[in-house]
Structures are given as C-alpha cells and as structure tokens.
Amino acid sequence: MSTSCGNPTTEQDALMLRRQKFDKSKDCVRCKENAGNIVIRHAVYCKACFFPLISIKLRRSLDPFVNPLPDGPRRKGLKASGNLLLGLSGGLGSTVLLDLVNQTYFSWHDPPIEDATGKPRGGKDHPRNANVWPKATVCYVETCTAFPGAKNRTEEVKAAVAKYERLVFVPLKVEDAFDSAWWDSIGGKPSSKQLGMDITNEDLILSSISSQDESDAPILRLQHYISSLPTQTAIPAAVQTLTRLLLLHTAMSTGSSHLLLGTSLTSLSISLISSISQGGGFVVREEAQEEWTPRLPVASRKDNGHKNGTIRIVRPLRDIGMKECAMWAWWRRLDVVGREKFTGGKQSIGPLTKEFIVGLERDYPSTVSTIARTCAKLAPKKGTGGVCLLCERPAQYGLQDWKSRISIRSFKDESSFGLYRPPHFPERDPANAPEPTSSSPSLAPFLCYSCHTTLTSRSSRGTTAVTASRDNPVPLPMWVTSNLTSASRTPVRSEDTDGSLDEPQELWSSHKMDAAQMKAAVADFLLDD
C-alpha cells in the first residue's frame, strides 16, 4: 500500500546510515593540489577554493532573481528595478550575507578596471563595474523589548554595519509594529480607532481599545501582545512575524525591489520543519522564496519598478550550510554581534526544531539538505482564500470549520449536536443559552492556520498568558488594524482578492522556464540559422 512502516529490517532505505566524514582523500576536491581545510557534506576543500565556492553559490541563488524578469536572460547584465534592503539580525547568517553581498555587488571599482582593449573588464554592466541596485539599506529590528532581560544590541550592529561604506543603516524596534508614528512614516494612513482582540476566545472577537496615555505607548502595546500569547511556542513565532512585516514595510518605504535575508541551508531546514510543525504547510514554498505585494495604496508607497510594487524576498544563502557560514565568518574575521536566544527552550517548537536539526546536521550532514530539497518539490494545494491579515502570506479558506470538526472545543448551540445528543448533557433553558458569538466581529476568519494556531493553541500545562482576559483586549499590529478598518474587508474564504485595494492584487509566482518560453523571451535577439 502507500504507507511505509519505516522498519529498517523490512526496508533497506529506512536506516539513516552514517557515512564517512569525507569521501576520498584529504586533498581539496576542487584544485586537487592543496591539503583540505574544511569538509562540506563529505567533500574536502582547501581555504583558497572555499571562498570562490561560497561566492558562486551565493550568485547562483541570487542572480536569477535580480532582474525584473525572474530566471530570464541575463546576457545584458544584472540590473534590479528598485533598491535593495538587507535584513540583519546580528546572527551568523545575516552577518555573512552582508559581507558577501557587499563584496559581490557593492565593491565596484570607480573607475572600472580595464582590460587590454581599454574596455571595463567583464563589460560595463558587470557587478564589479556597476551597481546592480541603485541604493542599498541594511535594516536591523531590535527585539529586546519582547524578551525580558534581553540586551539592546542596536549600537553594536550599527558599528558592524559602519564598515560597509556604500550601505545605509536603518534601525527599527519591534514595538514599531504598534506605533502609529512609524506607520505614518512609511505611508500608512492613521486609523481613526484602535482595535483589539479577545485572545481568550477562539474566534478572537474584536473590540475598540480606549486610547489612554500610558497603555498607548508602543512598547506597552507590544508587551501586552506578547504576554497574552498562550504558549512558549507562540512568542518567538509572533516576534518573527512582526519582524518580517517590519522589514517588508521598510523595503516598501525605501523603494526596494528586493529584500535579502541571511537564511542558511541549516536555518532554512529549521524554519521549514518548524513551520510545518506549526501548521504552515500551505506556505512551505514561501519559506524558501516569496513575493509580497504591499496592501497600501499606490500613492502611499515608493515605486520599485515591479508591477503592484511587489517585493521579492530572496534567501541567497539557502544552499550554504551553517558550518560554511561559520568558516566564512572565521576566515574573514567578521564581527558577529549575536542574537538573543529565546529561553523558552524545551517548551517551544522553534528552539526544539533548531536543536533537532543542528544535531542531525552534525551526524547526518546530508539529511539537512534533503529536507530543503524535498520541500522545494512541494506546492500548495489549490484553494487559496486570500491573504492572512497578520502575516500577509497566502491563506486557505474554511479553516475554522475544519478545526471545529476535528477538534470539538465547545457546544455553542444546540444544533452542534447534530443527529445525536449525548444523554448526560443537560437540557438548556433557551432563556439562559449563551449568546451566539457569530454576530460579533472577529479576527479568526481573516487569519491563516498558523497565525490562528499561534494565537489560540494552548499547552497541556495551561496557558502562559499573564495578561489575557476578556475585558482587556489585546492590541493588534498597525497593518492589521489598518486593513480591518479599511473599506469592506472580506474574510479568507474566496478565490477573489480584497476589493478594498486601489488596484487589483496579483499574486506573483515564479516558475522554471522551459526551452520554448526562454526562446520566446529572447526571440528578438536571436539570429536566423
């Protein structure tokens, strides 16, 4: 049948066999001359060959996505239609990415190096001779206010970025997500009323928040949001979503066509498994490669040359493991500022997955790349219902019904018993029956599965929420409030996109072009045989 018992005694490929550390000799497999300095997934490389190897891997992952036509002809060189934003967390991956991107795309010579004929070597559009992006910004989001006792590293990160002359540094704070001044600064319209949700109710009932001086401070709103989350798993997941949306809105406000993230192969495998374990199977493709279309009106955002202002999020280190990143940082003497470690540990899916994958990578280096390669062969099933208001990624429809069918959590009304009413269940006096909540506005229908689970799924040890209560609505990030209060929001339920936007939304997807498509794209440049 289709299932596999996974018993190694009945299936040859059920065993995870440990291979030798390296395949053949201790000499470099590339130059075949020098003694090896590093083993990368069973292959030995010397230090001299390591640097070009990593640079080539970076360009192979990034170059096809630079030009407005993805994976199209690059004969005329690389030219992005907008600016570049690089997300820097202070961790190993983004520090290495910053160095590699600066070295590859922002270390051009002025004037260009000339060849024997007096022309720029490699052509005038070669990344060495011309800038691929007109302007590059490095954005750091400080998250220390979300984690009690965490250290503010903004100044250290600023000093690390200062070494790169052609890059502009923009520091943000995670509480900016709740700051109307920040929202205003990036072109968002200030909302007339602030909304909050009742996180103790699975429907996430919405209500207005009274604007009081102290509780109105963004930092207090953030802390209220974080401390209301029901599990240790939800905290890093929520901070990650806030950070991602802050970066995307910053990319929009800087006219960027690309956002680069320092996700290494190891980090990618961690985020894939972690996302799948939190119900994010529908967006498994977005974990590796995605496009985001701003929901703000055209007039409020800077043009980045892409249709609908779409921003391409690329993870150029997705073929480079954590070990290679560490060696790059070590040999290049990079100053890795470091990131705050979330102390949730064993009670949080994110850190648990990291521990699991890093352990696997140590003993079975190929398994980590297998995870990424396997997930790259997956696509979401049909049935996109729109975009989640919180994470702004594609969402499926009908999730609330699905959840209530396979995991019954309440008997809201008598009709939920269907054909059979359990004999022990007391007859309710209709006068005392609880008010149906369906008439109250709720956030749940506007969320994807993962975000709804983050806000509502509880631990078996009870909730970690310390401030959640029905009478104390939890504030929402600015983009959620903005979209909810804008005209005629529709829940995640149909193939149609939201009608409240100023122009039609277009989900931009990339696909590998076949020979005929490629030929059609370059037909004007082809000569007759």
Site for other proteins in 224-243 (CB under 8 A): 231-233
Q: Does 385 bind other proteins (CB under 8 A)?
A: no
- The C-alpha angle 472, 151, 277, rounded to 5 degrees, equals 60
Q: Does 4 bind other proteins (CB under 8 A)?
A: yes
Neighbours of 387 (CB within 10 A): 22
Structure tokens at 190: 């200030």
Closest CA to 249 of 12, 2, 478, 10: 478
Q: How far is the CB of 21 from other proteins (least distance, A)?
A: 17
CB of 449 to other proteins, least distance (A): 6
Q: Does 164 help bind other proteins (rule: CB under 8 A)?
A: no
DSSP state of 98: H
Distance between CA atoms of residues 329 and 51, nearest Å = 11
* 304 HSE (CA, 13 A, CB side): 35
Distance in Å, CB of 89 to other proteins, minimum: 23
User: 206 in helix, strand or coil?
Assistant: strand
Question: Does residue 185 interact with other proteins by CB under 8 A?
Answer: no
Amino acid identity for residue 524 in this structure:
D
- Per CB under 8 A, the list member of 192, 214, 420, 515 interacting with other proteins is 420
Neighbours of 519 (CB within 10 A): 11
Chosen residue from 118, 149, 436, 462 binding other proteins by CB under 8 A? 462
Residue 155 burial by CB count (10 A; 0-12/13-18/19+): exposed, middle or buried?
exposed
* Residue 509 touches other proteins, criterion: CB under 8 A: no
Is position 460 an interface residue for other proteins (rule: CB under 8 A)?
Answer: yes
In angstroms, the CA 42 to CA 26 distance is: 11
Interaction pattern, residues 338-377, with other proteins; x per rule: CB under 8 A = --------xxxx--xx--x---x------x--xx-xxx-x
Q: How many residues bind other proteins (CB under 8 A)?
A: 75
Q: Which residue among 280, 316, 386, 473 contacts other proteins (CB under 8 A)?
A: 280
Binding window for other proteins (CB under 8 A); candidates: 119-127, 147-155, 268-276, 302-310: 268-276
Nearer to other proteins, 100 or 352 (CB): 352
By rule CB under 8 A, what string of x and - marks binding of each residue 12-41 to other proteins? -xxxxxx-----------------------
Helices 399-406 & 449-456 angle (0-180, nearest 10): 50
For position 457 contacting other proteins by CB under 8 A, the verdict is yes
1 binds other proteins (CB under 8 A): yes
Beta partners for 140? Answer: 88, 171
State yes or no: residue 451 binds other proteins (CB under 8 A). Answer: no
How do strand 311-314 and strand 256-261 relate by DSSP bridges?
parallel
406 binds other proteins (CB under 8 A): yes
